[in-house]
Amino acid sequence: MRGFFLLLIGIFFGVVLIKSEAASWFRIYEMFMFKSFHMFGIIGSAVGIGIIAVQLIKRLKLKSFYGAEITIDNKEKGLTRYLVGGSLFGLGWALAGACPGPMFALFGAGFWQILIVLVSATFGTYLYGVLKDKLPH
């Protein structure tokens, strides 16, 4: 049953990614040109409501649907890894026009060429794993 709900949440997210056009290369380009409010509206309203949702969970000590405590861990402190890793990610995001979620969505939408990007992204993650101990974090 849990698996089924997770699948449904994923299906809804996949629909949203395509219908919102957040998986469109053109929208990402337009965002980085600061020529449209669309993407900023999506991310901004998601974060705005997300902040309220997280605060509600924390302050009301909401339990999960299965009665377990919801813990939201703090991200590890640091600067280099977030700034350098983030910038490398941004370079790829703007070039491919897709971040990981949309990559999977575009595959489902039938844009088969995205598989090249998806396989390369998996390889990129592998490269990070190999080089991890040699990188500044």
Partner 1 sequence: MNEIMKMIMEPWPWYISGPSIALVMFLLLMMGKRFGMSSNLRTLCTICGAGKRTSFFQYDWKAQKWNLVVVLGVVIGAFIATNFLSDDLTVSINPDVTQELISLGFEDASEAYLPAKFYSLAALGNVATWVILIIAGILVGFGTRYAGGCTSGHAISGLSALQLPSLIAVIGFFIGGLLMVHFIFPILF
Q: How far is residue 109's CA from residue 115's CA, in Å, rounded to a whole number?
A: 12
The correct pick among 59, 61, 113, 134 for binding partner 1 (CB under 8 A) is 113
**Structural tokens at position 55:** 């605060």
Nearer to partner 1, 59 or 68 (CB): 68
Shortest reach from residue 122's CB to partner 1, in Å: 5
Q: Terminal CA-to-CA distance of the chain, rounded, Å?
A: 40
Shortest reach from residue 59's CB to partner 1, in Å: 13
Note whether 119 binds partner 1 by CB under 8 A: yes
Enumerate residues 19-48 that contact partner 1 by CB under 8 A: 19-33, 35-48
Q: How far is residue 50's CA from residue 59's CA, in Å, rounded to a whole number?
A: 14
Cα dihedral 62→11→41→47 (10° resolution): 20
The correct pick among 59, 60, 61, 65 for binding partner 1 (CB under 8 A) is 65
